[in-house]
Amino acid sequence: MRVLMVAEKPSMAEALSRLLAPGGQFETRKGTTPVHEWKGTFREEPAQYKFTSVTGHVYNVDFTAEYNSWDIDPLRLFSGRIRKTEANPKMRLTQHLHTEAKGVDYLVLWLDCDREGENICFEVIENCLPAMARGATMAQVLRARFSAITAQDVRRAMENLVKPNENEAKAVDARQEFDLKVGVAFTRFQTRFFQGKYGNLDSAVISYGPCQTPTLSFCVERHDRIQSFQPESFWSIAATVQKSNLPVKLSWSRERLFDRTIADLFLDNINNEKTAVVIDVESKKKSIQRPRALNTVELLKHCSSNLGISPNEAMSIAERLYMQSYISYPRTETSKYPDNFDLDSVLREQSTQSDWGRFCGDLLRNGYTRPTSGTDVGDHPPITPMRVAEEGDLFGDMWRVYDFIARTFIGSISANMQYTSTSAIIKIGTEKFECKGSRVTSPGFASVMHWMSKADEYIPEFSKGETLPVVSLALQEGKTSPPDYLTEAELIGLMEQNGIGTDASIPTHINNICQRNYVTVSGGGRRLIPTNLGIVLIHGYQKIDPELSLPTMRSDMEQQLSLIASGKAPQKDVLQHFLNTFEAKFAYFTKHIEQMDELFEATFSALAATGKPMSKCGKCKRYMKYIALKPNRLHCATCDETYALPLNGNIKLYRELKCPLDDFELVLYTTGSKGTGYPICPYCYNHPPFENIKKGMGCNHCLHPTCAHSMVRNAICPCPESERAENPCPGRLVLDATSAPRWKLSCNECNIVSTFVDTIKHVAIVANELCDCGTVILKAEFRENQSKAPVSGCIMCDDEMDELLSTRHMQETHQIHISDEVTFFKMHDRDGDGMWDEGDLRALYGFERDVDAGAKHIRLIIDRVFRDLDTDLDGFISLQEYMRSKLPDWTAEEINADRIWQEEHHEAAQVSASTEPSTVDEAIHNPQWEEVDEPVVPDKFKVQH
């Protein structure tokens, strides 16, 4: 019997294989994702097992080609056709699944046990079932349900395999299609309408989302309350008496009055009183309930409010802890342990931990009361520590999150906090005052959850009937204060209460409104302050159709999706109902967009009044203005036309040269000294003049036969990556004449860049001369101080010319030497397992910076590299993840941490003091270490702009 098992991530497949294979022994062979194999038994029969994985969703949902143009009427999108396309075509996961499923008898799915995981199950089934042994049916497709990667949980799941739930998968399909159609329709319309009129929006797109917009609405609603708040004066009587020669302040029983005259009247009634009488003293024993078991929402709230970690980052860290078996599944709404949950085994595991092990030992010895509060929604158990860890095992925020999870678990089964509250009622004349205090008698759960401890509040010992001298009586004035801006934790609570998103998607929605410049995060409390753009959008929706920004629509839909998931409502009917509703709303919205435009007009500058003159328009010969804010573009006020420009680079006028096709002045696009650069004709970039060339054409793609800047005149040879067996690059290496004095060859399709050595003064193409291999002959002239004659030759075949390139080429395969992405990755993969783990990154950064790899600022960088590159959140960076991304620039926090570390250790600066950045902003854009000559480390590893 042959059994294929599939997990959601490569690291998950490996971890599960170690738990399932006899003795943890298996063989691994390479594939699109690794395949682990062993022999065992399945349903009491001998079996050959194969365990592989996907990398999240196999497919993305998108419109078919005819709907992907922004020129079509957005209203048509509501009835547009969609298709599922491979999420990562270069990985060829569908082919991998089909190949591995050939001839197998059973398919066992180990995807995450939530709706998204169930949806991925059916993506895997779609590719595997047709290839399985002849006659295979859904009866041979089984699902493992598990909540933690432990031997006990995995063994239980293997013994209790179930059928995958198609209804849950359909609920995800419905949500994906709805969000795509509604979001794209509104976003395209808004973006084209407003970016064509206003220049200082500073956002690449003006987006709408069925979850994103109500999330933003909560923030703007709080902003509006703050702006409309009118402070009001109030008055209260402040009394002080003397007890044991010490002054004791009392609180007025009426608290405060908003009428000064009445307050004065009460004060006048008692102003001549010299003594106060204690009329009652009461002491009560009280308790503070221990926390409920931890679910996702409470984890996100604590991380934001107490640890200063954003919800998106907190979820990423929790995923990594789960993948490394430190905690149970982190996406759960349940806050109550099931009756069969073995709390003792978790306590025993944690009893050896140096910080909180003694608390676990006490609970095991003395017993505890099993928690009964909380809600069990039947998805996953609460978030629980599954594997003991010390602070040295985890670093930075990973340790802080794990520490909170472990302590919260222990606190949730510890005793309540006990304290005594004492209140004395003291009468001065006709008015009553109060003095309160409290004392903790048993800290209970606060012993381990130290952030929840309660300080004692001192109160003197009063006795009933006791008289006390009055020290002072005075009227105090105060003013009411507005509410503060929402914190992330408060926003998470509002989203949960109003059914906006799920525990899994809440961090994404909050991250979206931050990334799209609708809110900014302020201060250590992580308060969300709406930007002008965010405020105007919500106010605009409220003027046209308030339901577009209210949470009620999305909440209703989430309830209907739950009915689909439980099989109580048909997917097609639910989806069509909500699409029809929003199609009508969209039509009404577009007809009344002027109401929102009035708000934009009052807030933002017109396009013609924004930016600075840069280059001349080829039509009217007047200067166009360059708008550097997102999305950067050129605007001609005379012709009233706007020309998009490439993002993520620098734009400047290119020597006032003009395009021979349309007479527009060229601009130069560059991505920094380590990146690429090429001229652009603004008109050709937006309206390609040649057939089969996509919008976004730079001069390095131009087919003009005589223009000195076209690809035809500057292409040298095919890109070195064109000879790859898989996904060859279709580009060509082009001589970058704009790069002088640091001459380069760059591919016009991918990120390959070859830089000539610094001793070269000038590089030119030798007219009408080609090498036998088809490469254009180049002539390189040396600087005067080199006293060398110019060199001509082929960069592919001539050794002398090849040696002038700092990024070298191999003659046989034309592949780049050490700067090749794969070579660089493998060079720093110390154990050769095809993954970068934390140790690899620490060694890599420590070596590159020539500092101790354990330094704190190295820790900051490594945490962020994981966030940026570890897309499947498994705690490892695969070659595919590395190839899809790049190592990020240093942040201001990292630069400051590095500077502090260097000062503390009295190490010499890596560049001279004269080049040290004067500000953090300058340091970010011109890092000190960018130009350090380290031939061992390739350009790929340096900052690229």
Of residues 693, 675, 735, 746, the one with CA closest to residue 710: 735
- DSSP track, 868-935: HH-TT-SS-EEHHHHHTS-PPPPPHHHHHHHHHHHHHHTPPPSS-GGGS-SSHHHHHHS-TTTT---T
H or E element, residue 694: none
Cβ atoms within 10 Å of 796's Cβ, excluding its own: 21
Which residues are 48's β-sheet partners? 2, 39
Half-sphere CA count of 55, side-chain side, radius 13 A: 24
DSSP, collapsed to helix, strand or coil, labels residue 866 as helix
CB-count burial class (<10 Å; 0-12, 13-18, 19+) for 135? exposed
DSSP, collapsed to helix, strand or coil, labels residue 80 as coil
Residues that are catalytic: 329
Quote the CA–CA distance of 51 and 31 in Å, as a whole number. Answer: 11
- DSSP track, 606-626: BGGGSSEEEEE-TTT-PEEEE
Q: Where are the beta strands (DSSP E) in 409-493?
A: 417-428, 431-442, 467-479
- DSSP track, 696-752: S--GGG---SS-TTSHHHHEEEE-GGGG-SSS----EEEEEGGGTTS-EEEESSSS-
CA-to-CA dists, residue 219 to 211, 309, 492, 549, 615, angstroms: 13, 19, 11, 11, 41
DSSP for residue 829: -
Q: Which residue has the tokens 């009247």?
A: 265
At 825, phi and psi to the nearest 5? -60, -50
Q: Exposure pattern of 908-940 as b/e (b: 16+ CB <10 Å)?
A: eeeeeeeeebeeeeebbeebbebeeeeeebbbb
At 78, phi and psi to the nearest 5? -65, -25
Quote the CA–CA distance of 142 and 168 in Å, as a whole number. Answer: 15
Q: Give the contacts of 181 (CB within 8 A, at least 6 positions apart).
A: 77, 78, 80, 82, 579, 582
Cβ atoms within 10 Å of 715's Cβ, excluding its own: 20
Quote the CA–CA distance of 717 and 266 in Å, as a whole number. Answer: 94
Of residues 9, 17, 103, the one with CA closest to residue 58: 9
Instruction: Note whether 639 and 619 are within 8 A (CB).
Output: yes
H or E element, residue 401: helix 396-412
Cβ atoms within 10 Å of 362's Cβ, excluding its own: 17
Of residues 657, 652, 651, 623, the one with CA closest to residue 637: 623
DSSP, collapsed to helix, strand or coil, labels residue 568 as coil
Cβ atoms within 10 Å of 568's Cβ, excluding its own: 10
Quote the CA–CA distance of 403 and 409 in Å, as a whole number. Answer: 10
Of residues 75, 76, 70, 61, the one with CA closest to residue 178: 61
Amino acid at 308: G
CB-count burial class (<10 Å; 0-12, 13-18, 19+) for 427? middle
Q: Give the contacts of 372 (CB within 8 A, at least 6 positions apart).
A: 336
Instruction: Note whether 624 and 605 are within 8 A (CB).
Output: no
